[in-house]
Amino acid sequence: MGSYSASAQRLVDDMKAAALADPARGLAFQGAPGANSDLAAREYDANSLPLPCYSFEDAIDAVRDGRVDRAIIPIENSLHGRVADIHFLLPESGLHIVGEHFLPIHYGLMSRDLGPVTRAMSHEQALGQCRKWLRAHNISPVAHSDTAGAAAWVADSDEVGLAALAPPHAAGLYGLTLHGTGMEDADYNMTRFVVLAREPLAGAPAEVPLMTTFVFEVKNIPAALYKALGGFATNGVNMTKLESYQVGGSFAATKFYADIVGAPGNEAIDRALEELDFQTKSLRLLGTYPQARLRP
């Protein structure tokens, strides 16, 4: 477990006390107050009490241990791809996906005005999303565990030329000068978050379009993936996401993370999942939840 800088810790203590006192409203997120995940939590549920956690593991543990009822975790970004390690953490967490949220991502450059900015600190995902802008302005990237945490670090630092790339409103939270916004390299920068809980969603209204997320491991045989996915094609099930990842370091056991439109209980989906289960070594459903954005 890491620690926050002094400026962030003061805010963390207040938010933690509120969330832990009302677990049903508590919504854990990774990062310091003012991070994109904090914004996502407040947008997803305006009545929530966001709980800052230093790492993804800490946020997941807060739900698993019953300190709060839910966590909101970024899973992929439209510019930078999937969030590192999240495909490992979700299946291992034992939690269920009960919702999703899409957050447009914008960054501001902020500092204490201690000379011209020569270095910008932020999360590696944010640095990657602003790579072209940083290079064009001859600003060196400095990795930090969190965007808003970087802003808090800069607020507590006397280093000349050091700035943070963080959500613009973080400048006000930490008393920094906002030098500009829109440092992201594309205006379609968007992050998808999933909401996790100890129990699966009890049920959604029939008229609400649903998504189902699962992971599976293919057999080590020729055409294993082709055989595993055939049931989705023959049953007309739309798979909107399929990503592979390695487990165990052997380069032999390949797992896949997938999203499909719809939910178990639908005859076509049940047939497709039954075929998938037959053709794979393992299959685990991670959750069925309402679509935050309609897929075809």
Residue-wise pLDDT for 34-89, tens only, equals 999 999 999 999 999 999 999 999 999 999 999 999 999 999 988 777 776 777 78
Rounded to an integer, what distance in angstroms lies between the CA atom of residue 127 and that of residue 77? 13
Residue 253 has pLDDT above 70, yes or no: no
Q: pLDDT: is 195 or 186 the higher one?
A: 195
Structural domains in the chain plus CATH codes? 7-104+190-197 (3.40.190.10), 108-181 (3.40.190.10), 210-288 (3.30.70.260)
SS3 sequence of 182-201: CCCCCCCCEEEEEEEECCCC
What pLDDT does residue 252 have? 63
Is 280 known to be catalytic? no
Mean pLDDT for the stretch of residues 2-17: 92
Catalytic residue among 147, 191, 213, 288: 191
Is 191 known to be catalytic? yes
Rounded to an integer, what distance in angstroms lies between the CA atom of residue 257 and that of residue 234? 20
What is the pTM assigned to this prediction?
A: 0.91
Q: pLDDT: is 243 or 88 the higher one?
A: 243
CA 91, chain centre distance (Å) = 14
What pLDDT does residue 2 have? 66
Tokens of residue 284, six digits: 């685990």
Q: Do 117 and 160 form a contact (C-beta atoms < 8 A)? A: no
Alpha helices in the chain (DSSP H): 6-21, 36-44, 56-64, 86-93, 124-129, 131-136, 147-155, 170-173, 224-234, 267-279
Rounded to an integer, what distance in angstroms lies between the CA atom of residue 132 and that of residue 204? 42
Mean pLDDT for the stretch of residues 183-211: 89
Q: Give residue 137's identity as a one-letter amino acid code.
A: H
As a whole number, the mean pLDDT across the chain is 92
